[in-house]
Amino acid sequence: MKLKAYRDFFTDKLAPLYDREEANQFFVIALQHLKGWSRTDIALNPDAELTKNEFEQWNAVLADLEQQKPIQYIFGKAYFYGLEFTVTENTLIPRPETEELVEWIIEENADKGKIKLLDIGTGSGCIAIALAHNLKNAEVHAIDVSAGAIKVAKQNAIDNGVNVTFIEMDILPTPSLSEEYDVIVSNPPYVRNLEKQEIKKNVLDYEPHTALFVDDNNPLLFYDKIAALAKESLKPDGKLYFEINQYLGSETVTMLEEQDYKNIILKKDLSGNDRMIKAEL
């Protein structure tokens, strides 16, 4: 079969599940990964034939996409803040709204002197690594409870040429952090089980639930604990940044006020949802 004809077969097969533009994007991504070709290479080689082996590889990708497996997990790569990250079943796929949080932190901390920064619940390491890459003044540490995530994050730091100190640790039973920081950031699990019906199959079936879900009765569990740890570990002018559940903006602000945080700013993401918070002591 000609590759050009396969492209039509591929996008037709995906038509019930994805719109045409998205199906085309998947084709282009697969073309890059499977053949090292860009879209123009097809135009330049209109008669290119698929070998039997390639045909099988393409069909395996197609079958995964028909199961709504995210393309980032199929090829193990995702892009965040202009950098490439390996992702596995142990790490979430970095989200665009998290890029907005990173941007906010960079804007506010780029012109400081040397700073020390901690990312709690780092996953693939995307926040910590994007910050280390863009804040040359920052010494960056990152914590995660998952050994699998830490392994991926360490490799991502190496691949992106930055230095981040990774620590495998469960913060919930931890009485205090061992160092002081100028900036503490976290995008902890925040989706309530009651929100599960809003979550698409591609997320629910493939992304790590420990990184996503919290108990309906205690959705701020991680925020509460991190705020308490940060209270003891932030330097005098230190700042705490969170990505938050869009439905829990005012609850999160109240919790921070109750823990005596000041100058609390709640910010919306580009979709207009309450998505991030900054607080100071």
Least separation in angstroms between residue 267's CB and ligand GLN is 15
Q: Which residues are annotated as a binding site for substrate?
A: 187-190
Three-state secondary structure call for residue 10: helix
CA angle centred on 101, ends 135 and 213, rounded to 5° = 125
Least separation in angstroms between residue 189's CB and ligand GLN is 5
Interatomic CA distance for residues 224 and 257, integer angstroms:
11
Point out which residues bind ligand GLN (CB under 6 A).
95, 187-191, 203, 212
Least separation in angstroms between residue 211's CB and ligand GLN is 6
Complex with ligand GLN: residue 87 or 191, whichever CB lies closer: 191
Cβ atoms of 223 and 252 within 8 Å: the answer is yes
Closest to 99 measured CA to CA, from 131, 74, 73: 131
Least separation in angstroms between residue 127's CB and ligand GLN is 11
Least separation in angstroms between residue 233's CB and ligand GLN is 21
Cα separation values, 120 from 74, 97, 193, 276, Å: 27, 17, 22, 15
Compute the residue count for the chain.
281
Q: Which residues are annotated as a binding site for S-adenosyl-L-methionine?
A: 121-125, 144, 187
Complex with ligand GLN: residue 62 or 191, whichever CB lies closer: 191
Cβ atoms of 121 and 186 within 8 Å: the answer is yes
Cβ atoms of 241 and 66 within 8 Å: the answer is no
Cα separation values, 58 from 19, 48, 51, 61, 126, Å: 19, 15, 10, 5, 29
Neighbours of 252 (CB within 10 A): 24
Complex with ligand GLN: residue 7 or 275, whichever CB lies closer: 275
Complex with ligand GLN: residue 125 or 189, whichever CB lies closer: 189
Provide the phi-psi class of 206: left if phi over 0, else alpha when psi is between -120 and 50, else beta: alpha
